[in-house]
Structure 1
Amino acid sequence: MFLRHAVADVCQIAIRCRIVILSVCRPTVGFIERRFSSKMSSMKFAISLVCPEGNHDPIKLPHRELVYVGRSPDTRIVDPRCSRKQLQLTADLNSGDVQAVQLGQNSSALDGIEMIKDKVYTMKPTSTLHVLTGCFPQKLDVKKLKESDDKKHRHKSASDVETTNHERSKHRSSSSGSTPKSSGTSSLKSSGYGSSSNSSLSGSKSKSSSTDSSSKSSNKRPSSGEINNSAAKKPKLNGDGHSGRKSSSKDFAENDDDSEHMKDVAAKLQLLKSSAKNKKTPTKSSTSSHRELKAPENPAKQETSTTKNGPVSKGPAPESRWDQYDTLYVFTAKGLESRRKVAAFDIDGTIITTQSGKVFPTHPGDWRLVYYKDIPKKLKKLHEEGYKVVFITNQMGVSRGKTNIADLKSKFIDLVDDIGIPIQILVSTKSGLYRKPCPGMWNFLTEKLNGGIEVELSQSFYVGDAAGRPKDWAPKKKKDFSCSDRLFALNIGIEFKTPEEYFLGYPSTKYSMPEFDPRKISPKTQLLDPADARLTSGSMEVILLAGFPASGKSFFAKKYLEPKGYVVVNRDTLKTWQKCVALCKDSLKKGKSVVVDNTNPDVESRARYIQAASASGAPCRCFVFTTSFEHAKHNERFREIIDKTHDAINDMIMNSFKKKYVLPEKKEGFSEVVKVNFVPKFKDPKLEELYRKFLLEK
């Protein structure tokens, strides 16, 4: 009995001491909470992670707290390749930016570019994050907070907080609902509000029941559903996220209002410490968030075995993946093998068309197989016969901002899944070497993506709908938009078929080839016409060049005339025709001959230099370049491919010149009109080989 009374007295003393300490600390606590409240009121944004495909509910991102995204009920991702902590996200609710770090072994992607493991990337509101490359897209939902929202948590006193906590405790104790168990997707490092019961401080009976509840969990300990329900009803620290701290049995043993109050303050202090630490700790540089995967210079040859269908790779692709090589994107399906025979297909208009019936898809899901019965059947048969099935497509809309590369990747993955065989897809996203009809994608496929196995051209073929067919090539059929697919196969040297010929057995039909054929250009062509025309003169003169952009004028002036002492007048350098005329006059005054290296399309522009020559007593000859409009466009495309520094001349400029161009005549005041033929000269045989390919779609 004596021992029981002694224990009771000690407990009473401890309670009184605790109350005194709390009363002394209350002013400090109030100050801290006011600082905390003021800090939280300064947040400018509310940020959530959302799935554009609607696969999961928004995942809120708290301020400067770590959130892990991966395989979990929150994201509804069940793919075993995806780690539970695949990505780590940290949101800044002041700037609206989110830092993303890949933690998982398999690659994630930001804006279509594969991420480097453990490297910090900055995710903008417009960014698209794929949890696995090409799969599970995520976007940021960034909302700007209104000033009225900020004021909700501004300048609360300690007594206000205590009252709020007391009311919240009553509400929790009276609530009996439950919520689904939360996952580890949003696992946050900072501490939050703990859960507690609402027992009174007074009376030894209450104390003993509280003690019993901590030791006899079978009677008093809340279930996991109740824990989550209690946590769900806690106020959010920043109006956006939750604390994420796991509740312990100690939280439920603490059952008085002051304990609840102190735990809330401790949580806030912990958050402030965490925020300060994050600010002081330097993060990895995120200036370069793009990684371009380089193709191996000398790809290792895969082991092969001989079958009735020819040699095939012994090592099929272990997993599906997307890779990027400059402006070329490559998808390799799991199980794909390198083979000697290749069956290649265009995609749009050949394998798929729009579900809506419009020329261009209205959304990523607006597609269907052109021949839903024949295509899977035929492609599966090709695979069984030892062909490597490859899709090769131009997608210029990506570089022009009209097509989202992430949506395109997702669509193509769905397409491969629907067909049901391993397929490789090459996607050209910009003009240049990889754009059909240029053979760049095919060369890359055979040299870098086929495991060192040489492709047999005589047994390979290409199918595409851009075949140069005129209107009504079949009843009520439109004219083909270009001839790029037919020219692509011609450049490679493989058999070509249209989708109707290959899938439906249609007979071959008429088609038109481009007016300019680069294969017919001869290096033996006579340079000047007439043949006896002089290239240069022994006396002072003006030579005016006229012809399409990219017809060879600048090359001619620098190779043949500038070395002979002619002053080159060029508007690309001087910017205005007035400066060009001034330089021409000044050079003539010094007794120097001049070559005017401009397009000079009309009589008016040419008359300026004829007058300048006449005023100096010098003759003016006109050298007219015979390069056709189509030939000039071919030259321009060739320069664009081989010279990355070249400022491309767009079609609008070429077409504008074509409309204004008036063929020069001697009666304009020229002493002679000489025709200049295009004679190609190449030091590199590979460049000459490329030049003689069809480079234009039409």
Structure 2
Amino acid sequence: MSKAQTKKRAADDQAGPDPKQQKLFPIFSKAGELSGDSSQSGSSFRWITPALGPKRSCLHGVNGAPRSLPKVAAFDLDGCLIQSSFPKKGAPPKFEWWRKDVPKKLKEVHAQGYSVVIITNQALRTSTLISEWKKKIPLIANALSEVPFRIFAAIEKDGYRKPIPGMWYELERIFAEDDVQIDVASSFFVGDAAGRPNDHSSTDRKLALNIGIPFYTPEEYFLKLPTAKYTLPGFHVSSLPTEEKRIVPSKPSLLPSSSTPELVLFVGYPALGKSSFFRTHFAPAGYTHVNQDTLKTRDKCVKATAEALQNGQNVVVDNTNRDVQTRKYYVDLAKKQGVPIRCVYFTGSLELAWHNNLYRAFNLPASLTVSQPTRELLPCNAFTSFRANFQEPTIDEGFYEVRRVNWQFEGHEDARKRWSMWLQIDGK
């Protein structure tokens, strides 16, 4: 964002509601008059356009002139501040507080010097439903005319969707433009998706754990009820073994001393670090890299491999190579050209591979997004189809050896912190 844009945003955020503008409580508004446009709703709320993110998948709005303060009081929306409901096409927008004391509590926390922020996932499948839902927020703002707040709403299954902290990263960015760093220890997050027996999910609690922020359920925060039991389903990296050797067997050396060209076949799920392993161990030794993501078809990969071997080059085929039949194309090629072939098998579960897929698509640190190419999220069927057809490689296929490479995260501390978060875009 340019300095001019930053100044403009700051000026916009400091601009309060028009004193001449009449404020109506929702029940006195005529059906059809309300929309996300504050000039139509009589609200000091406004949606900021364009929405955030490369796909404009994070809606962002402000009520009044919210200040960037070190202490943040963050809240989920549905089932926390208001009763859960879904917009109905053509019906006038409406809402109901989760409990009658919610507005009073929000006024109190604002008076105590907190920035009030709403962070919500919204499963809105069409642009019409999104438009209808957006009309509800000025009604809430009308009823909270004394409480400036920000709202972020994730409307796609991407890096903004809780528990991935994309919306929180945007909040940190906005505050940093005002030279304010959030005091996470003094802030808190309230949400109903807490992993309790009757909760629809645990994404709010997982988001709080990812951020490192104190967490409360609505019952705990608004009603002062004791903490309820909960579970956190799904994959977390803490379940991975920590004592496994990286390469098994570790000897002899991964790179042979012979000058005879060889063919190395990688096997394993997508997103288990095969390409990174090649760059670290094989690229410095001059191995040719053959990859179907680049060449697009298996036939082109086989042809490129044959040409490189004919030219006396060592080759690594960096594909998933999931079954015996797929690997046989390369085993037969090696026999035909009289070169040795071996297999490097990258171990790891579907759950780990999917987690890595989410991490590299949505949760890389900013320092790595600059230096690494953008990785799009691979579809789920790329992983489930691998599992359905996978056959573990063996010496009997014609390899002179099969090395196993166990997963180990390699990266700096900030990257490890982000990789270690709860990452999911669907499910509980």
Structures share a fold, TM > 0.5?
yes
Residue matched to 1:411: 136
Q: Partner of 1:561: helix, strand, or coil?
A: helix
Aligned AA for 2:205? R
Q: Partner of 1:508: helix, strand, or coil?
A: coil
Q: Equivalent of 1:339, from 69, 77, 86?
A: 69
Q: Deviation at 1:365?
A: 4.8
Q: Distance in 1 between matches of 2:244 and 2:251?
A: 15
Describe how 1:494-505 pairs up with structure 2 within 5 A. 494-504=213-223, 505=225
Q: Distance in 2 between matches of 1:487 and 1:465?
A: 11
Q: Deviation at 1:639?
A: 2.4
Q: Distance in 2 between matches of 1:601 and 1:134?
A: 56
Q: Distance in 2 between matches of 1:403 and 1:520?
A: 43
Q: Deviation at 1:653?
A: 2.2
Q: Deviation at 1:462?
A: 0.9
Q: Deviation at 1:414?
A: 1.1
Residue matched to 1:464: 191
Q: Aligned pair in 2 of structure 1 residues 135, 696: CA closer, same or farther (>3 Å)? A: farther
Q: Deviation at 1:570?
A: 1.5
Deviations 1:62-110 (A, max 9, x none): xxxxxxxxxxxxxxxx99469xxxxxxxxxxxxxxxxxxxxxxxxxxxx
Residue matched to 1:648: 377
Residue matched to 1:671: 400
Q: Distance in 1 between matches of 2:161 and 2:373?
A: 15
Describe how 1:564-643 pairs up with structure 2 within 5 A. 564-641=285-362, 642=369
Q: Deviation at 1:623?
A: 1.0
Describe how 1:160-559 pairs up with structure 2 within 5 A. 320-324=45-49, 325-326=52-53, 327=56, 328-334=58-64, 336-355=66-85, 360-363=86-89, 365=92, 368-369=95-96, 371-395=98-122, 397=124, 401-402=126-127, 404-419=129-144, 421-449=147-175, 451-469=178-196, 473=197, 477=198, 480-481=200-201, 483-504=202-223, 505-517=225-237, 526-537=245-256, 538=258, 539-559=260-280
Q: Distance in 2 between matches of 1:321 and 1:361?
A: 19
Q: Aligned pair in 2 of structure 1 residues 497, 79: CA closer, same or farther (>3 Å)? A: same
Aligned AA for 2:395? K
Q: Deviation at 1:342?
A: 1.9
Q: Is the 8 A contact 2:264 2:316 kept in 1?
A: yes
Structure 2: 5+ residue runs without aligned partners? 1-17, 23-33, 363-368
Q: Deviation at 1:553?
A: 1.2
Aligned: 1:661 with 2:390? yes
Identity, % of aligned positions: 35
State the TM-score, normalizing by the size of structure 2: 0.76
Q: Distance in 1 between matches of 2:97 and 2:193?
A: 15
Aligned AA for 1:603? V
Q: Distance in 1 between matches of 2:66 and 2:158?
A: 28
Aligned AA for 2:421? K
Q: Distance in 1 between matches of 2:120 and 2:35?
A: 25
Q: Distance in 2 between matches of 1:418 and 1:644?
A: 46
Q: Distance in 2 between matches of 1:452 and 1:396?
A: 34
Q: Deviation at 1:489?
A: 0.6
Q: Deviation at 1:354?
A: 4.2
Q: Partner of 1:369: helix, strand, or coil?
A: coil
Q: Deviation at 1:521?
A: 9.2
Q: Deviation at 1:692?
A: 3.5
State the TM-score, normalizing by the size of structure 1: 0.48
State the number of aligned residues: 379
Q: Distance in 2 between matches of 1:521 and 1:497?
A: 31
Q: Aligned pair in 2 of structure 1 residues 545, 394: CA closer, same or farther (>3 Å)? A: same
Q: Deviation at 1:134?
A: 4.9
Aligned AA for 2:96? L
Aligned AA for 1:676? V
Kindly report the root-mean-square deviation, in angstroms, between the aligned alpha carbons of the 2 structures.
3.5
Q: Aligned pair in 2 of structure 1 residues 567, 447: CA closer, same or farther (>3 Å)? A: closer
Q: Is the 8 A contact 1:134 1:410 kept in 2?
A: no
Q: Distance in 2 between matches of 1:426 and 1:571?
A: 39
Aligned AA for 1:651? C
Q: Aligned pair in 2 of structure 1 residues 623, 468: CA closer, same or farther (>3 Å)? A: farther
Aligned AA for 1:336? P
Q: Distance in 2 between matches of 1:435 and 1:605?
A: 37
Q: Which moved more, 1:486-495 or 1:617-626?
A: 617-626
Q: Distance in 2 between matches of 1:427 and 1:644?
A: 27
Q: Is the 8 A contact 2:44 2:63 kept in 1?
A: yes
Deviations 1:643-698 (A, max 9, x none): 67433312232222232223223333322221113344446x64444333333245
Q: Which moved more, 1:497-506 or 1:618-627?
A: 497-506
Q: Partner of 2:47: helix, strand, or coil?
A: strand
Q: Deviation at 1:431?
A: 4.9
Q: Aligned pair in 2 of structure 1 residues 402, 321: CA closer, same or farther (>3 Å)? A: closer
Q: Aligned pair in 2 of structure 1 residues 354, 680: CA closer, same or farther (>3 Å)? A: closer
Q: Partner of 1:663: helix, strand, or coil?
A: coil
Residue matched to 1:694: 422
Q: Is the 8 A contact 2:93 2:136 kept in 1?
A: no
Q: Partner of 1:413: helix, strand, or coil?
A: helix
Q: Is the 8 A contact 1:519 1:693 kept in 2?
A: no
Residue matched to 2:8: none
Q: Partner of 2:135: helix, strand, or coil?
A: helix
Q: Distance in 2 between matches of 1:592 and 1:452?
A: 54
Q: Is the 8 A contact 1:135 1:410 kept in 2?
A: no
Residue matched to 1:260: none
Deviations 1:380-411 (A, max 9, x none): 333344333210123464xx645554433321
Aligned AA for 1:434? Y
Q: Is the 8 A contact 2:36 2:46 kept in 1?
A: no
Q: Deviation at 1:506?
A: 4.9
Q: Which moved more, 1:360-369 or 1:381-390?
A: 360-369
Computing the radius of gyration from Cα coordinates, the structure with the larger value is: 1
Q: Equivalent of 2:40, from 120, 123, 136?
A: 136
Q: Deviation at 1:597?
A: 0.8
Aligned AA for 2:230? K
Larger relative contact order (CA 8 Å, sep ≥ 6): 2
Q: Aligned pair in 2 of structure 1 residues 345, 549: CA closer, same or farther (>3 Å)? A: same
Deviations 1:110-137 (A, max 9, x none): xxxxxxxxxxxxxxxxxxxx99845539
Deviations 1:295-319 (A, max 9, x none): xxxxxxxxxxxxxxxxxxxxxxx95
Q: Distance in 2 between matches of 1:382 and 1:131?
A: 28
Q: Distance in 1 between matches of 2:127 and 2:385?
A: 26
Q: Is the 8 A contact 1:463 1:497 kept in 2?
A: yes
Q: Partner of 2:283: helix, strand, or coil?
A: helix
Q: Aligned pair in 2 of structure 1 residues 493, 414: CA closer, same or farther (>3 Å)? A: same
Q: Distance in 2 between matches of 1:631 and 1:468?
A: 21
Q: Aligned pair in 2 of structure 1 residues 370, 628: CA closer, same or farther (>3 Å)? A: farther
